[in-house]
Amino acid sequence: MYYLKTDITKPLQFLSAGIFTSDTVWKHMERVIDSFEIIIGIRGNIYMQQDDERFVLSEGDFLLLLPGHTHSGYDVSPKGTSFFWLHFQCNEDHIILDEKEADEDIKLTNNNPYFAGFEDKVLLPGFFRQFNRERLSILFHQLLHVSESNYYTRHSMNYFLTSLAIELTEQTLSQASGKKGNMDGKEKLSTIIEWLNTHYTRHISLKSAAYEFNYTKEYLARYFKKHMGMSMQEYINKIRIAKARELLIQSDKNVKEISSELGFSDDKYFLRLFKQHEKITPREYRRAYYKLHMNNI
């Protein structure tokens, strides 16, 4: 595994970006490019090879391809395969780290509050599974919208790109922190969160969740509030609103359809909740990010 560590005192340089969706079975062409490329899986499996190293990207997986290397597809992806893609260049102050070197920097950052090694840097992994795709999707669509809006300056794209790189670095550091065993007895919380993330479109009550995990309602309510800083229902609503944002900018479904898909029995309640969280209506949110670059070749 390799990592890109680069300075962001000046923003990264945006080149191009888009959303690819195959309208038939598809295989990536062979090429060598002079820029970095980010690929984030949306749907289906993408089979990519860099020199002799092979990767399979599924939904939420992240791949960073390096300039000057041979990139190609090594297997066929099905019709409908979709992913975000983005080409960029770094400032002069950037290096490629191996896994051991990156782990040392990550440990210092996570364990030493006086270590400012990433204060003006980002760290992007060569390959990473299961980033928080909802958060990345919003940032990516904002970047795409700006890139297609003919702003008077390209600095807008550069800063949105750098914000995306910061979010990727934050998630990389957070997940690495979790891997090193700093669970503090929260394994059961992870199980509860995973269950909620899977079943959030259903009608979930505190009673039904407590029954699922063999807890009392009172214990589950206290435990969740203590470790998450919010009630279970507040967390479910956050998941639903995050998914609503994604559907508003990735689909042409109307508000009522989105409300129903997310498990709301009352679309008027969904409208009120969305505005409470986002300060604008779903329609206003959709209009704000309607310009995208789509390709299928």
pLDDT digits (tens, 9 = 90+) for 94-132: 899 998 888 887 777 766 554 556 778 999 999 998 777
Whether the pLDDT of residue 227 is over 70: the answer is yes
* From 5-9, 110-114, 178-182, 211-215, the region with the lowest mean pLDDT: 178-182
| C-alpha to C-alpha distance for 146 and 150, rounded to whole angstroms | 7
Q: How far apart, in Å, are the Cα atoms of 70 and each of 40, 119, 242?
A: 19, 32, 37
- 56 beta partners: 47
pLDDT digits (tens, 9 = 90+) for 230-268: 899 988 988 888 889 888 888 889 999 999 999 888 889
pLDDT-derived band at 290 (thresholds 50, 70, 90) equals low
| Residue 136 neighbours by CB distance under 10 Å | 20
Whether the pLDDT of residue 297 is over 60: the answer is no
Whether the pLDDT of residue 84 is over 90: the answer is yes
| C-alpha to C-alpha distance for 68 and 74, rounded to whole angstroms | 19
Whole-number pLDDT of residue 295:
63
For 40-60, b/e burial (b = at least 16 CB within 10 A) is: bbbbbebbbbbeeeebbbeeb
Tell me the average pLDDT across 75-97: 92
Whole-number pLDDT of residue 158:
95
Contact 245, 281 (CB under 8 A): no
* From 9-23, 25-39, 85-99, 173-187, the region with the lowest mean pLDDT: 173-187
Task: Please give the distance of CA 94 from its chain centroid, rounded to a whole number.
Answer: 23
Q: Between 224 and 14, name the one with better pLDDT.
A: 14
| C-alpha to C-alpha distance for 12 and 100, rounded to whole angstroms | 25
Contact 91, 7 (CB under 8 A): yes
Task: Please give the distance of CA 162 from its chain centroid, rounded to a whole number.
Answer: 14
Whole-number pLDDT of residue 113:
54
Full-model pTM: 0.66
Tell me the average pLDDT across 36-65: 94
Helical ranges in the chain per DSSP H:
99-111, 133-147, 155-179, 187-199, 206-213, 217-228, 232-250, 255-261, 267-278, 282-288
Q: Between 174 and 63, name the one with better pLDDT.
A: 63
Whole-number pLDDT of residue 198:
86
**pLDDT mean across residues, the chain:** 86
Whole-number pLDDT of residue 184:
44
Whole-number pLDDT of residue 180:
44
- 39 beta partners: 63, 85
Type of residue at 273:
L
